[in-house]
A = this chain, B = another copy of it.
């Protein structure tokens, strides 16, 4: 899965919007969005404030574009799953696998999203989009339960929160140069989500 937003390059080489955004998101994550000043951002980029303003209208715009990297990709996963049709259980499989791949590919942007405090309009809109995604997963779990392919003793809302909680937590420790590549990680998560830790039906893990 590739990043969907490829802003046209402008400005001098090495200072296109994309590569600047990586640095900016690091500042936001290191210090929190509220505490990150334009001065800190310009300094980390080695640019003047006015040069930064050549690329971004405001700190809020930086945040909005960065969050789109995470939210836009996750929304696309759900859209694709729904466009495919088929059983709800197949959609769940697709969503879980692709969400893990998004977490790996868009890691810094997802970390930013998960640490928002909700102190601004941009943040509140992003948090609302997160809530909508959780609701979509809950409805998919509900549909799977209705078709008989999901256990009926676990609330679909809890199942959705547990599953997103697990997938989101990957960004806390995943390393692109680590021992587990994204596809293998997606397979391990899917396996854990599908059948848990127990060996089989007869183990005493209850």
Residues of chain A touching chain B, judged by Cβ–Cβ distance below 8 Å, are 29-32, 34-35, 87, 89, 92-93, 114-115, 117, 119, 141, 144, 148-155, 158-159, 161-166, 168-170, 172-173, 180, 185, 188-189, 191-201, 203-206
Evaluate whether A188 and B155 lie within 8 angstroms (CB atoms) in the complex, with A169-B166, A198-B195 already known.
yes
- Closest Cβ neighbor of A155 among chain B residues: B188
Q: Given that A159-B197, A194-B197, A201-B201 are known contacts, is A165 also in contact with B169, CB under 8 Å in the complex?
A: yes
- Give the oligomeric copy count: 2
A29 to B155, CA, bound (A): 30
Contacts of A165 in B (CB 8 A): 165-166, 168-170, 172
- Additional 5 contacts, C-beta under 8 A, given A150-B197, A162-B169, A194-B197: A29-B117, A34-B35, A89-B204, A161-B173, A162-B189
- Which one of A89, A148, A155 has the highest number of Cβ atoms from chain B below 10 Å of its Cβ? A89
Q: Are B35 and A188 in contact (CB under 8 A)?
A: no
* Complex contacts, A198 vs chain B, CB 8 Å: 149-151, 194-195
A161 to chain B, nearest CB (A): 6
Q: Which 5 pairs between the two chains have the least Cβ-Cβ distance?
A: A165-B169, A35-B35, A32-B32, A196-B196, A195-B196
Q: Is the CB of A192 within 8 A of B201?
A: no
Name the B residues within 8 Å of A154 (CB-CB). Answer: 188, 191-192, 197
Taking the closest CB of chain B, its distance from the CB of A52, in whole angstroms, is 21
